Structure 1
Amino acid sequence: MVGTSISQYLLEKSRVVFQARGERSYHVFYELLAGLSMEQKEQMYLQEAETYFYLNQGRACNLLGKQDDQDFTALVQALQGIGLSDDELTSIWAMLAAVLQLGNICFTSCEKGSFELAAIPSDTEIQIVANLLHVSADLLRSAITHRVTVTSYDRIFTPLSVEGAIDAR
């Protein structure tokens, strides 16, 4: 007989987007990169952990004694054990890959009148994230470079500064 216990955790956004020296982001990111097959990594446009801004800030992509590939295998087995299908797992991996790719989106400042607005000079990461999430690249670009205010009659799109876009990302 097999049993399980599921707990709810409040995950901190700050841990995803920033790590102090010697710290890691959430282990699942490193495990994903170590455990997926080369074919799966290619399908999700994934590279080594050191190439992702959300993973390399702490300079702790590899920990002595931590077997990320083995931990990924255990994670997959646990998720299959609670009934997740291969398609559902692929969707989870794609969402995690999208988060990593979002962190690599760079912003530049462009002037419009007296305002400094965020712009994205390269479409590569936007297109990758859009493909992974099955959304429009144009809508994704707009979502991370504009604040949307919804009124009872309209939606108002306000361009963000670079700092605002980094927070929205």
Structure 2
Amino acid sequence: MLAGLPSKQRRSFYLQEAETYYYLNQGGDCVIPGKSDGEDFNRLLNSMEILSFNAEDQNSIFRILSSILHLGNVFFERYETDSQEGVSVVSAQEIRVVAELLQISPEALQKSVTYKLTDLTFNSFEQLCINYANEYLQFFFNKIVFKEEQATDHTFLQKCHYHHGNNPLYAKPKMPLPEFTIKHYAGKVTYQVQKFLDKNYDQLRQDVLDLFIQSKNKMVANLFVNHAEFLGQQKSQLRKNSTVTRRYQASTVAAKFQQSLLELVEKMERWL
């Protein structure tokens, strides 16, 4: 994208060279010898046209990708006031750029990325109520996830071994290592389970959902509306099932990914 977009469009997205972006420069040199990013980008555009992505769709996709690059350059600074720790955004310009690209409120975006305690110059009763609510909800979340679930990467691995150990496509390590192997169509792949559960429980807060649903960019808004609808369907299903206890059951990343994959295959089948 950085190599193939027209200069006018790059300027409208405030894009610079690949080396300036944190998400791209962690591996060192951003250039691969013998590979042309510009040619790859042109092939991408041709594929998009074949799949009926119009100019507006393409512009929205590149706008979103640009905003992700800018978000990677948002840095934070810790501070302490009255024995309380807080955090502030150092790169406020990047926040404004991202908000402009995604067509959302920059103030709401900054609040969402520094969410924890509301720390204003003058704090009164309203801030006490907000901070109390935040703390209580955090306590509830910690209680459910860390006390009631009692699930760890190790217990996940043991369950994988127990349920799939006899499957010819599954292999346990010969040594007691935190990993398992799956025999995919293209070959064997070994997966390390460190932080598996943390990544799977990665949740999107309601205030973040609401922020992006309000975006004036249709594609951005629709992405998060669909996500909210999926969560609503899950909650409705749980309510219908009388055997399910009234415990907190958040949608996992794996469940959302599987649902998206099923929807994609369904659309592809309709095209054929």
Q: TM-score, normalised by structure 1?
A: 0.67
Q: CA deviation at 1:111?
A: 1.3
Deviates more, 1:48-57 or 1:115-124: 115-124
Tell me which amino acid in the other structure corresponds to 2:31. N
CA–CA distance in structure 1, aligned partners of residues 18 and 110 of structure 2 = 24
Q: Structure 1 residue 117 and structure 2 residue 86: aligned?
A: yes
1:36 is aligned to 2:5: yes
In structure 2, the CA distance between the partners of 1:157 and 1:40, relative to structure 1 (3 Å rule), is: farther
2:75 aligned residue: 106
Match of residue 106, structure 2, among 137, 156, 160: 137
The CA deviation at 1:157 is 4.7
Flag the 1:102–1:70 CA change in 2: closer, same or farther, 3 A: same
- Aligned mates of 1:78, 1:131 — CA distance in 2: 28
CA distance in 1, matches of 2:28, 2:134: 37
Relative to 1, partners in 2 of residues 1:157 and 1:91: Cα closer, same or farther, differing over 3 Å?
A: farther
Paired residues, what number?
123
Residue identity matched to 1:145: T
Percent identity for Structure 1 against Structure 2: 37
Q: Does the residue aligned with 2:87 lie in a helix, a strand or coil? A: strand
CA contact (8 A) 2:18 2:30 kept: yes
> Deviation of residue 67 (structure 1)?
0.8
The answer to whether the 8 A contact 1:146-1:157 is kept is no
Q: C-alpha distance in 2, partners of 1:107/1:157? A: 20
Q: Which of 78, 81, 95 matches 1:126?
A: 95
Say if 2:74 and 2:90, in contact at 8 Å, map to a contact too.
no
Is residue 51 of structure 2 the alignment partner of residue 90 of structure 1? no
Code of the residue aligned with 1:85 in structure 2: it is: N
Shift of 1:147: 4.8
Q: Deviations over 1:50-96 (max 9, x none)?
A: 00011111113000011100000000110111111101100000100
Gaps of 5+ in 2: 118-129, 136-203, 205-272
* CA contact 1:34–1:68 (8 Å) conserved in 2: yes
1:163: which partner in 2? none
Deviations along 1:112-136, whole A, 9 cap, x unmatched?
3323221013321000000010000
Structure with bigger helix share is 2
